Structure 1
Amino acid sequence: MQKEHDRDAVAEGVAEAVRFDRVTKRFGDHTVLDGLDLAVGRGERVTLIGPSGSGKTTILRLLMTLERVTEGVIHVGGEPFSHMPGAGAGAAGGLVPASERYLADRRRGIGMVFQHFNLFPHMSVLENVVEAPVHVLKENREEAAERARALLGMVGLADKVDARPTRLSGGQQQRVAIARALAMRPEILLLDEVTSALDPELVAEVLDVLRDVARDTDITLLCVTHEMGFARDVSDRILMFDQGRIVESGRAGELLDAPRHERTRAFLSAVR
């Protein structure tokens, strides 16, 4: 049933941005993801909710190649991502685990904003945003700086380009991190509890920026959050996870207002 309701949720005629095909992830004897089947359409905004340890962040880490799948295959843009074509003995479907070079090439279209900002403290705000496009995408530095200034303006930090990150509030630092991720021109943007490390009064400014990104771009978004108001505003679809499985999925308003599964109802009661 999981495979049917998740694959069918991608609108007819919409190409898949991401597909998890029977993906399992184990750490030792602990199964974090259990045979996950999930498809996300290009331009779709999907929010993952559920208790800590339910597998949500592991999905993002697999897409960022910070972890490797134990079983199954991840596809991105219709092409194998966790695996690559090969003739290895016993390789199902002619695929073998992806090499580091293969992964590095394909993850360039995926950006991620983490819980913690991880900005370079010795660099200015502008330099933090410019660094990766110049060294990874091989962009011209002047052109990268021009785009970085535009992105910093978009996140409300045009007047902070020369500041060091240590001189910024947590909310401002997270907005720099969002601009930095967008500077890599991602087709897919992953958001991992981006407000969890912020003081409550700073949460709104970051969520407002992400609402703008959802409204004004066609980037595919996969978001892990406990901010249900934000999830309602930006999501085409919400997935409820528990013990490494999807227990319920649906349109944002429907799932949040009238959850069908008891586990979803209990979780939403706890976080509201």
Structure 2
Amino acid sequence: MGKQKIGRRPFVSMSVAGLLAAPAIVSAQSEWPTRQIRVVIPYPPGGPSDVTTRIVLERASSILGQSILFDNKGGASGAIGAEHVKNTVPDGYTFLMTTTAMVCITQHLQPLPYDPAADFVPVARHATSWIGMGISPQVPSNNLQEFITYAKANPGKINFGSAGLATITQLYGEIFNIEAGVKMVHVPYKGSAPATNDLLSGQIQVQFDPTTLPHIAAGRLKCFAIASEKRWPGRLDIPTLKEQGYGKMGGDAWYGILAPRGTNPAIVNKMSRAIGEAAAMPDINEKLVASG
């Protein structure tokens, strides 16, 4: 793959070439897995990367006939977990959960201890999330225009939290600053869940993140816009940013699985099929939509 960047396309429809003929590959495909699989989630528990991975891969483990251990190694915007998996033996029993930022964004903004294209191979894309613009009830606004007016009148006094530096959750806030002409202050966290906890307690005022959606649905947070291409089925009354003239530079946040470079292609293919089968099940989709 050289220096070619891993983009969104490999996660949309996975196919692995060259699986014909070689007896060793056929044997690996038929026998694997013979023991527990480990999936490293490079963010703390409770965030969208953690929740979506557990929902889909717990079902994939049933399809494969082996249990999956979920190993949260959060920190440094996913880099700690990624570097750990990069340095593991590519035996088909350790995988990495990845986000949009980890393969498409962060490398352009700061040095990384891994190369997304050189150190990993794509396995599957298992979820795409809506982004809720969660707002603390303490903010004296009742719609998006009122919020923008309030933010303009109070530059530097509104804090927005993110899952970490150079993540898509930071990117959404910075884009909104530019498009709306406001000056919210970025507060990076070690993951989405800790940021949401502070949003609920009023320590920060805004968060662009899927973790806000269940709290929005429950009425614990305000929400004047969904920062995604389409409205969230959980609250179809909330318009998107684009519908209100903003969010033109936004895009979807997705979650996927990578394997260390050198992993047997037959194993990658079998894991990919199991994840795809699990993600297509109606009850799994219902759980994903409910979580955002």
Give the TM-score, by structure 1 length: 0.29
Higher RCO (CA-CA < 8 Å; seq separation 6+): 2
- Bigger Cα Rg: 2
